[in-house]
Structure 1
Amino acid sequence: MNTRKIVTGAVLASVLGVAALAHSGATGVVKSRMEAMKEMQTAVKAIAPMMSGTAAYDASVVQDAAETFGRHSGEALTASFPEGSIEPPSEALPVIWQDWDHFEALARQLGIMAQGLSLASENGLHGGSGMMGNGMMMGSGSGMMMGGSPNMMGMTAEQIGQMPADGAFAMTTQVCAACHDRFREEDD
């Protein structure tokens, strides 16, 4: 199994933890944001098999997923978390409002990643396993850190758009995972 499949699987498992969200009883802004998270989960599920090479690649499906991520990023994401909106069944943690700048930065970063993924969709998948192993995506200096915050070194959507789509997808899901790891209650 190559590194790309291992990393994509690990990131996907983290992001798809959202599947445990129980929408019953949710109302108002909590229900709206849970529905937005469900839409992003559906987008991840739609393209993850393509990114791991287990389904045929379709750039239009990747673009649709990127649109979904973009629609629920930035101000749209932060607006769905008014202070104190943690009533059950929300899994949001109070640390969101204690570390709002970090949360807001991740929301903005998701938008950049979504734009980059859309641009990268036409590039197809990386032909080999070298990309994930060369430090471009993982490691100490220039990419995303597993389980941590995204490296906010200022990559633009255009720079991300030069990557193969699976690399841009991995970066996008890393932003999701970083936010979930910090700001969402762990599933039992």
Structure 2
Amino acid sequence: MSPRPKVGLEITAILDVAGQIADVQGMQEVTLANLAKQLGIRPPSLYNHFDGLGGLRKKMAIYGLNRLYEELAHAAIGVAGDEAVLAISKAYVNFARKHPGIYEATLMAPEMGDEEVQQAGKKIVDLTVTVLQNYELKDDLALHAVRGLRSILHGFSSLEQRGGFKMQLDLNESLEIIIKAFIDGIHDH
């Protein structure tokens, strides 16, 4: 990636560039020095927005969670029940495919207990609980189902990103079969 012209140091523009670095080169390359170089600024200027590399990682996690939420919310518009579960599942995996670095950022906040990170993640949980409402899962059972779905989607995405699916089978078909099995399971509860 060639250096970009200096941009107004708005946090969204900075995170967009950091996301591009992450997606192309990997999250390990999202450093203050690399980010400053891409922005055409000196690294100390970034301290106006982040408390060091840890602060940048936290903002990247929130940025990634918010972007993932937007994709899932968009996929859930106008659908319900099985169709909605399938739609958000495909959106999740497609987000990880299109934005592997940003997706990785959602998993590596320095302090996962941080309130801002928790709030960004909670939006995704709440959306998923809403999508699962048609199954009349009560109390903790709905949250267990959210955990199960996330585990399936993250596992699938992680294995795919690391080249774990070598067989000549259509990955989208595999995903659909797996999600339909999950849906069948929650229908039985």
TM-score for both structures, normalised by structure 2? 0.28
Instruction: Judging by fraction of residues, say which structure has more helix.
Output: 2
Q: More relative contact order in 1 or in 2 (CA 8 Å, sep 6+)? A: 1
- Structure number with greater Rg is 2
